[in-house]
Amino acid sequence: MNVIDRSPFRNEEGSIGLVDRLRGTWQFGLAWNKEIQSQDRLVSQMKAQLKNRYTLVRDVVLPGLGIPIPLVLIGPTGVQVFYASAIQGFYRAKEYSWAVLESRSHRYTLSKPNLIKRTSLMSQAIFGFLNEKGFQLEETEPVLFFSDPNFHVDSINPAVHILLADGASRYIEKLTHNPNILDINKVERISSSLSEIKSDTDLSNTDSKLQIGSLQLYRWQWAVLAILGILQLCMMIVFILVIFMAT
């Protein structure tokens, strides 16, 4: 399987350094790092089972869409749009409804974010973009993947395909046996269209720089330095208090 990674956080080796992890967490929240790990787990499974007829484009940011679409798989059997999550617990998926089982009340209550709607909207966005480019696809399949074995779901005709950790291998194997609907040329053209998007939300272009003295850094870099400075100050205060109490 060919992989095209458009993430602004990964280096040439495909890994994410400490500063970029802080940067990603700063922008997308505390769950971002676990979602990346979930994506990597699914990608590893795909690499082991899919041949070079398939291409995976990571972190597609469509024009006007503020968040990246994590995984888009293009192959002879069609286009799949994946969203990966590392959440745990008991959930219920019914059409577009997404609910979690509360431990105290033992009742299902609507959960946010609604991962079914999120995955469906991402798939619709890819579908609309590709059809505007003239590919005339009949559909793109939305797939919601959960990597944690402690996740459980009661599915009642969900609007997206729900894929559990222990079912990933079977899903990918079944995928390769589906009827071919795209020729190799179309797979390559779709992959190129998604990988060559010039997005105004690309962090490398939107982060404006600030200069203090001779030091010029991006805003997020100044934010990281400020956090490190605060942590160092707190450590100094604790150290002084420890010495004061010891005397």
pLDDT for the residue 197: 80
Q: Would you give per-residue pLDDT tens digits along the chain (247 residues)?
A: 999 988 776 766 667 767 666 666 666 666 767 888 888 899 999 999 999 999 999 989 888 777 889 999 999 999 999 999 999 999 999 999 999 999 888 899 999 999 999 999 999 999 999 999 999 899 999 999 999 999 999 999 999 999 999 999 999 999 999 999 999 999 999 999 998 886 544 444 444 455 555 555 555 566 666 777 888 888 888 888 888 777 6
Q: What is the pTM of this model?
A: 0.76
83-93: per-residue pLDDT in tens? 999 999 999 99
pLDDT for the residue 205: 41
> What are the Cα distances from residue 170, in Å, to 10, 18, 164?
29, 34, 10
Beta-sheet strands, E only, within the chain: 2-5, 55-60, 69-75, 78-85, 89-94, 97-101, 108-110, 141-146, 151-156, 161-164, 209-212, 215-218
Question: CA 130 to CA 192: how far, in whole Å?
Answer: 11
Nearest Cα to 60, choosing from 240, 220, 228, 194?
194
Radius of gyration of the chain (CA): 22
> What are the Cα distances from residue 215, in Å, to 129, 178, 210, 230?
41, 56, 8, 19
> CA angle, corner 233, sides to 231 and 239, nearest 5?
105
